[in-house]
Amino acid sequence: MSPRSALAAVAVLLLVTGTLTIPRIGPATAAAEVRGFVDAHSHLFSYEAFGGLLMCGRPFHAQGVEKALTDCADHHPNGELAWYENFTRTGSPVGTHDPVGWPTFHDWPAHDSLTHQQAYYTWVERAWRGGLRVMVNHLVANRQLCAIYPLKRYACDEMASIRRQAERARELQDHIDAEHGGPGQGWFRIVRDPAEARQVVEAGKLAVVLGIETSEPFGCRTLLGIPRCTRAQIDRGLDEVHALGVRSMFVCHKYDNALCGVRFDSGTQGAIVNLGNLLSGGSFWQARTCTGPAHDNPIDPGGVLPDPIAGLLPPGVSLPLYPPAPHCNTRGLTALGEHMVQGMIERGMLVEIDHMSVKAAERTLDLLEAARYPGVISSHSWTDPHFFERVYALGGMITQYGHDAEHFVAEWARTEPLRQEHQISGYGYGLDVNGMGQLPGPRAGNAGNPVTYPFTTFDGSERLDRLSTGERVWDVNTDGVANYGLVPDWIEDMRIIAGDEIVRDMAAGAEAYLRMWEAAESSPSSPTSP
């Protein structure tokens, strides 16, 4: 254990709240503080997930950008066969787009195009030059989405996909190293512990933390209510992913599994995910009308399945009817789920509570509080806000989904008193790039106070003009965050409407994340604690 970690452990033990003596993270000291932004939730390598043919383009290619940024073969010649892209972008499977990527990029990448690569490595590099210092790259998989999408080059085994993406992450690190003089010289550094991450950030480079967001960790699905995994299987799985370098992980995602029930999706997307729940475990979501203040997202009775997805319903089966909203999933954290959470605590891993049902999140927080374990995070706004108090009291972190500038600023301001109460000095975002969610769009009504190019980054180290790649030039005022390279422009847009205070809070985000991770590593329940 490093001297810095030992000091952090002592500081944590001196900060108490209530009768549980729960550790909290106080403001950074000048001597220890690093400055920079944290993105706690992104997916650079999701092009290898879902069978390998759903996402178009790659974050890098050994033969160059012209090979990396190409459209999917089935999107040619005019995008009319790209039904999944069309549906996720417009709500209809019918549509067209220009499939040419490099060098013209006429139609993609775009903030609302969900199947095209948005995180080419030089775009991530621009974000790093603009102040990004910690990025959590979640290795992502979803067996049912893979099964539903008809085109694939890989089988739908989720753990095989996770391993493949971890390998691609290290290949990208090697690729960047080769461009900067050899091993260890690049700006993209995969880290395994907070001490290593701090060294990387202090050197001005990007610390990349590997995470996992998958629907059936270690094969832990259910079939007609019967778990398809064991405690021993979970233990072996946690050992394997920890050896891969994974340090942050979801217990469930989108579908109920053998570990926990999920937080619902709404509307047409919810209807599709609910169908996936049926195909995954043999039943639709089960919901009750909530009686407490926290609740899951409502299941919209108007949600319908578009063609061709409607054809996947078994004969005679239709979407179920649900009681009045607000809705709560009847499924919580199972005994196997509790075993997994305890296993993550024992390994010093960060527990992601997003996508858990209210019932599952409540029980998970009970376990974390009993263990006095601060390693908990809501990384992209997919948990009920009533849990924020408990997360912050533990010393955990909440990073907001990448909303448009006005909505992001409004949520930052709304939650500021809670952060002040718990002495949380930093704020972060979870952009969810390449995660089937829209990136921030252009700010409405920005003609009177647009981002002016070139602008200076928060620390004064760079002057950034409009981003260009090939023949395309992007402007955040009209394009929003069309790709990851426009994140600094988005932060500048928020500075324009909210002032320097929001940038100061976000520039303390990397430090806040590292302190949380250090406190988790130093927890009495962690194997790295003294």
pLDDT in tens, 121-142: 999 999 999 999 999 999 999 9
b/e per residue, 484-501, with b = 16+ CB within 10 A? bbbbbbbbbbbbbebeee
Point out the least confidently predicted range of 146-155, 332-341, 396-405, 488-497: 146-155
Point out the least confidently predicted range of 314-323, 337-346, 444-453, 471-480: 314-323
Say if residues 32 and 426 touch (Cβ distance below 8 Å).
Answer: no
Q: CA-CA distance, 80 to 58, in Å (whole number)?
A: 22
What six digits make up the tokens of 324? 């009045």
Q: Is the pLDDT of residue 459 over 70?
A: yes
pLDDT confidence of 526, banded at 50, 70, 90?
A: low
- Residue 1's pLDDT is 40
Q: What is the pTM of this model?
A: 0.91
- Cβ atoms within 10 A of the Cβ of 66, count? 12
- Residue 528's pLDDT is 58
Over its C-alpha atoms, the chain yields an Rg (Å, rounded) of: 22
pLDDT confidence of 224, banded at 50, 70, 90?
A: confident
Q: Give the rounded percent of residues in the chain with a pLDDT score beyond 90.
A: 81
3-class SS of residue 389: helix
The CATH class of the 3-26+36-70+112-258+331-521 domain is alpha beta
pLDDT in tens, 424-434: 989 999 999 99
Q: Is the pLDDT of residue 494 over 80?
A: yes
What six digits make up the tokens of 346? 């024992």
- Residue 21's pLDDT is 34
Say if residues 37 and 132 touch (Cβ distance below 8 Å).
Answer: yes
Among 351, 379, 331, 374, smallest CA distance to 23 is for 374
Q: Is 468 left (phi over 0), alpha (psi -120 to 50) or beta?
A: beta
Q: CA-CA distance, 210 to 136, in Å (whole number)?
A: 6
- Residue 441's pLDDT is 97
Q: Is the pLDDT of residue 460 over 80?
A: yes
> Which residue type sits at 529?
S
Return the higher-pLDDT residue of 16 and 369.
Answer: 369
Domain with CATH 3.20.20.140 in the chain: 3-26+36-70+112-258+331-521
